[in-house]
Amino acid sequence: MQREGSAFQGLGVVMLKELSDHLASIRFFVLEMLVLLIALVTVYAAAQQIKDTTAEDPFLLLKLFTTSRDPLPAFLFWLSLLVPVIAIGLAFDSVNGEYNRRTLSRILSQPIYRDALLFGKFFGSLITLTIALVVLWLMVIGLGLLFLGIPPGGEEIARSFVFLLITIIYAGVWLALSLLFSILFRSAATAALVSLGFWLFIYLIWPILAEVIATAIVPPDPRYTALGLQTPGTVELQQILARFSPSTLFAEAVVALLDPTTRSLGPIYLSQLQGAVLGAPLPIGESILIAWPQTVGMLAGAILLFVIGYVIFQRQEVRA
């Protein structure tokens, strides 16, 4: 049977309904208040640390994201930790919740196709996260202006804005993953536990496994270990394996943007240092080029996870 009209008919309705539900939910309010509280404390601690240790720097705003003060980690650490939790919290019951409430067949009996339903749920959650991240970004800039007393420059704003875009893409990866598990598992509790378990595996265990696997495949060279150095082949393989983790890709991309002196995200060779002034900041265009492969990798991962969920959802039985 041929479909009538566009496959995305009703997309706006579903998206606005999801956005409204998320913004009005207690779950989102609690998670967002937790992030705002942590951001306030860490940015204040970073500002005090900058005042104590930095005499003059053209990128003070960027240091608010990366500077830590014992016992608090940097704001960037908390962001990379909490963004996946919020994304999972928004999407783990997006589809299976409709199954459990016996509302999915009713929705699809309206002039709304499965395509529009799935895209609407994903983009509704992504817009919710985008609103939260934009508010957080503006708050950090405002707090930096308040605590440091120095207005940020144009390049600082541009770098922090690109950092915001990369963070939204990073959140999209975990939204797509959580949506996939919401399609695979009918139980919302199972989807939430599997999503959180996968996140903990990727965040905590995979970097260790990457090192173990790389060492097993490319054993350390005694010539390097005798000098206290790592074998280049082992380091390169470990970095390749670690980049299967969205957290690693996100960390590498934002380091290239928030630290203008970063010239490479891998091993640095002598040819790369020829004619370079050590410690000199790179133009923002070159920093974006350095972070571009990691950004594209996260975007591709989000698209791949969504496509897998889309194909599975199209083949599922939806009758109550």
Judge whether 1 lies within some domain: no
Judge whether 197 lies within some domain: yes
Q: Which residue has the higher pLDDT, 34 or 8?
A: 34
Judge whether 320 lies within some domain: no
| Domain extent at residue 19 | 11-314
Label residues 89-121 b or e (16+ Cβ within 10 Å = b).
bbbbbbbbebbeeeebeebbeeebbbbbbbbbb
Q: What is the 3-state secondary structure (H, E, C) of 163-192?
A: HHHHHHHHHHHHHHHHHHHHHHCCCHHHHH
Task: Collect all residues with Cβ–Cβ distance below 8 Å to 180 and sequence separation of at least 6.
Answer: 305, 306, 308, 309, 312
Judge whether 258 lies within some domain: yes
DSSP category for residue 108: H
- Lowest average pLDDT, out of 61-65, 183-187, 282-286, goes to 61-65
| Count: domains in the chain | 1
- 8 Å CB contact between 133 and 183: no
Judge whether 195 lies within some domain: yes
- Condensed to tens digits (0 to 9), the pLDDT of residues 83-114 reads 999 899 888 888 888 888 888 778 777 777 78
DSSP, residue by residue, 264-311:
-SSPPPHHHHTT--TTPPPPHHHHHHHHHHHHHHHHHHHHHHHHHHHH
Q: Which residue has the higher pLDDT, 300 or 266?
A: 300
Q: In the structure encoding, which two tokens stand for residue 65, read together?
A: 């994201």
Q: pTM for the whole thing?
A: 0.88
Placement of tokens 């390169």 in the chain = 236
High-pLDDT (> 70) share of the chain, %? 87
Judge whether 89 lies within some domain: yes
DSSP category for residue 102: T
Please, how many CA atoms are within 13 Å of residue 188, restricted to the half-sphere of its CB? Answer: 14
Judge whether 143 lies within some domain: yes
SS3 state at 72: strand
